[in-house]
Structure 1
Amino acid sequence: MAFSIIKPGLLDTIQDLGRHGFGNIGVNPGGAMDVYAAQVANLLVGNDQHEAVIEIHFPGPQILFEQNTLIAITGANFSPTINDEEIPRWQPVVVRKNTVLHFPSLVQGGRCYLSVHGGYCLKKWLNSYSTNLKAGAGGFAGLALKKGDELPFNENTIYFAGLLKNESNFETLPWRVNTEKIYQYPHEIGFLPGREWECLSPSSKNALLENNFLIHPSSDRMGYQLKGSPLALERSVELVSSAVSFGTVQLLPSGQLIVLMADHQTTGGYPRIAHVVTAHLPKLAQLRPSDTIQFKLMDPILAEQLLLSRQKELHILQRSCMDHLNEMVC
């Protein structure tokens, strides 16, 4: 085995970039809440960006590594340590056999991601490693990780012990990712008008743009329930259930809003007044209950440019990390 769970966290699940293409049979995409952080975690250790990662919430787990390996931790800052020595995030780290990874304190963010070189040795369900907790499928037996679970890694040919100096517990490799632009202004969330946007009253449109909305404690991976000034439609509309997606903002009968997240249902019947732009979903995913959201109406061209720029940077990062890793190994 490659590592074992000594103590489980609040909610540790296997995730990847989602289970797409099965909405017609009622299976939602799921996948990582912060797709960007999951992609980067894999690229830093030389994996394909679609490999599985572990999504970790605070309080996090304690993990015993049973072999030398290369890992990366991205996303939220839970002060990760190896044998009580702090390790960096957004940077590859070689860890020694029989060391323990721990997340002792919450500094910032909602969830972090743990990748290992070569990926986890798991079976896919409907073309994805992601855990679907409601269906009890995918991931590690369809469940959140628990004490005693042992996760094997896929085979690799790199001799990681040769990268460890003396008797050090870990060795940080000299390349990292600058995420400042991705998570800049964390509470400002850009959106595009939804199909029922024009059904909102003028005062409700202004309220959406001018007020802050609080994320309710009952929010989860399925959706963020927001608390703020009640909004209203200018006229009542009869809607049939229609397709929804990650980032769809719906108006509930109470006048409050819900933002659909990674485990959203495949269809919904509430008015879709907005859609969070894809480039801002990582910021949204890192918000926690009691954090606030300030919605910003965004130009569609700018939203597209932000997404294309991010994809370009990921391609550059992939090539760069592979070059660095190959050079280091040689």
Structure 2
Amino acid sequence: MKPLLKIIRQGVYTSLQDSGRFGYRAIGIPVSGVMDRYSFEMGNKILNNAPNTVCLEIFNGGFEAEALSDHTYVITGADGDFFINDVQLYGWKSFSLCKGDRLKIKGSHNGSIFYVIPQGGVATESILQSRSTYPFARIGEEITQGRTLYGHELEQTQFVRGLMPIHRPRFDYIVQVRIFKGPHFDHFTPASRDRLSHSTFQYTGGNRMGYFFKGEKLNLIENREIISEATQFGTIQVPPNGNPIVLMADAQTVGGYPIIGTVHEDDLFKVAQLRTFNKIQFRLMED
């Protein structure tokens, strides 16, 4: 191993993630892993990394690190302001940091999550067959000021310079995502079912557990106790206030709120990259 980065500022929230921790939901451990799988996978392809390489997932910026060795990286995900020693840097293209360089991610313009991916990935301990951080169970390595991150000594390998703009995701102010009916879909009033797929909901905030939305209320036909159901990344729950919650990568594995739908797996990255006050439109898929 070799030292890669010393954390100067960890930003709003930064964690180490890979593709996730599978097979432990039955004991209450969520999959976790990256929130925007597309940006993660494309970044690893640019660097010719293994598909499950560990990266830094950074919410909204405010991140700064000092390079402790010469190494190659790529930044993917949200559009933002990136700098090496105050010289502007562009995302979706590989770049080199030399020992002593300062990497800064100041903030985002479109989207909300950045991925800093080193060639060969970050070296960290595997717990339950994954290196993803799940702080609620104290699993994984916490990113704090002063922490040193390590990587792997690599032989010279070829990598792609970057990804053409046509292949980069767009993070719009209003996004449309496909959804499937949930187990309690028919428990909602006909007007609410129609409202779900024909109205716009505003994202009001959230974290890796869940994103909260506000719009026209989604109402049950009758208020009654329901049996708790298994949940997953993309489950759409409706609490008593009638405003939907989309469960995210670190969400609980069982929930007691009615489940009106589930976001299509291929559209989860669009939800993950929402900025506060962006809007979402759900499009119901046919059975």
Counterpart residue type for residue 211 of structure 1: S
Once the two structures are superposed, residues 202-246 of structure 1 have per-residue CA deviations (whole angstroms, 9 ceiling, x without a partner) of: 1111221222111123x1110111111111122445421121111
Which of the residues 181, 184, 187 maps onto 2:175?
187
Which of the residues 237, 250, 257 maps onto 1:250?
237
Question: 1:323 is matched with which residue?
Answer: none
Q: For structure 1, which segment, 147-156 or 1-10, has the greater mean C-alpha deviation from structure 2 after superposition?
A: 1-10
Select the structure of larger CA radius of gyration: 1
Q: Describe the shift of the 1:94–1:29 C-alpha distance in structure 2 as closer, same or farther (beyond 3 A).
A: same
Structure 2 residues without counterparts, runs of 5 or longer? none
Once the two structures are superposed, residues 281-324 of structure 1 have per-residue CA deviations (whole angstroms, 9 ceiling, x without a partner) of: 11111002221111112346xxxxxxxxxxxxxxxxxxxxxxxx
Q: SS where residue 81 of structure 1 aligns? A: strand
After superposition, where does 1:1-330 map in structure 2 within 5 Å? 1-138=3-140, 140=141, 143=142, 145-158=143-156, 174-178=161-165, 182-183=169-170, 187-217=175-205, 219-299=206-286
Contact 1:42 1:53 in 2 (8 A): no
Contact 1:182 1:282 in 2 (8 A): no
Query: What TM-score does the superposition give when structure 2 sets the normalisation length?
Result: 0.92
Counterpart residue type for residue 86 of structure 2: D
Contact 1:5 1:148 in 2 (8 A): yes
Give the paired residue count: 284
Counterpart residue type for residue 227 of structure 2: V
Q: Describe the shift of the 1:243–1:193 C-alpha distance in structure 2 as closer, same or farther (beyond 3 A).
A: same
Counterpart residue type for residue 7 of structure 2: I
Distance in 1 (alpha carbons) for counterparts of 2:243 and 2:108: 29
Question: 1:303 is matched with which residue?
Answer: none
Q: Which has the higher helix share?
A: 1
Once the two structures are superposed, residues 119-163 of structure 1 have per-residue CA deviations (whole angstroms, 9 ceiling, x without a partner) of: 11111111111111111121x2xx2x1211111111111299xxx
The structure with higher relative contact order (CA 8 Å, sep 6+) is 2
Once the two structures are superposed, residues 142-201 of structure 1 have per-residue CA deviations (whole angstroms, 9 ceiling, x without a partner) of: x2x1211111111111299xxxxxxxxxxx963324465744755112111111112221
Percent sequence identity over aligned pairs: 31
Once the two structures are superposed, residues 52-88 of structure 1 have per-residue CA deviations (whole angstroms, 9 ceiling, x without a partner) of: 1000112331111121111011001221111112222
Distance in 1 (alpha carbons) for counterparts of 2:83 and 2:160: 16
Distance in 2 (alpha carbons) for counterparts of 1:114 and 1:13: 11
Q: For structure 1, which segment, 108-117 or 60-69, has the greater mean C-alpha deviation from structure 2 after superposition?
A: 60-69
RMSD: 2.1
Q: Which has the higher strand share?
A: 2
Distance in 2 (alpha carbons) for counterparts of 1:36 and 1:241: 31
Displaced runs of 4 or more, over 6 A: none
Query: What TM-score does the superposition give when structure 1 sets the normalisation length?
Result: 0.81
Distance in 2 (alpha carbons) for counterparts of 1:275 and 1:159: 40
Q: SS where residue 39 of structure 1 aligns? A: helix
Counterpart residue type for residue 157 of structure 1: E
